[in-house]
A and B are shown apart, each in its own frame.
Chain A
């Protein structure tokens, strides 16, 4: 996987606030400083954020 990183300011898909990204990689998970939402960098060219995958609990093993 390419280790390309990007620095950018983009809109939070949850609260529409500004999220400052510094040296992030594709599929890295970041947090919105305004609303606290976990966000995934699903693309770095162009930079696109989506809500990060939910974390569920499961009783399996």
Chain B
């Protein structure tokens, strides 16, 4: 009798990381179900309970009804319903979608399945200095950091580190920028909100995607301070496969594990003296790196879910 295992893919198939994973699962002929964000409100129903007897319940996706205990693994990359639907959308659709998402995410917190990734550990990326303290524990170097709303404190830090960059403290995406003359002029605004400054590190960027115990590394050659936005500044970046040393691979796998993440995108800067770790991304857009280097990240993710 065939095992009734279920792999749930949650998100929008229009998103490349989701569509590449679906293609990889299809290549493996793995039994997955797509919970498409755009039709959650029409297609998905949950009924589950927690009692003295434990967790039990059923889920309906389209016409398929199954026991939640048959869920073997889940990959989720949902957007906040307001962001997905936009402000002009039907309020009832947004509310219904939000309620299904909430019911599902509450379930994923409890389910004994492989969840890529669990909700709470993903929050470590909400504070970069908090995450940096976890990064230090694994033995990576971190950039010297000063977070301040005090101009005088910044001047002391600048006297120690003449070349600085500044960036957001939280998970809100910001363009990492050099603190140049223009930036210094804007520092009058500093008192309103503490800002994160770091000494600028020389070296090359490496993005490591860790899936369980497997790691794929990509070297990024860029003249820009923030390679993600390099093409906007007319300096396109070059991506190539990078061979990690066994120690470095072990450290990356350990870091993802310490952060509680089954799948992580780890950003490194490597120079002859040190390996710096800048951050651990809990929902990495891996497709960009796979398309640029041909490394089979989606296949590895599919294999991880289809164990």
On whether the two chains bind one another, the answer is no
Q: B interface vs A, CB < 8 Å?
A: none
Q: A interface vs B, CB < 8 Å?
A: none
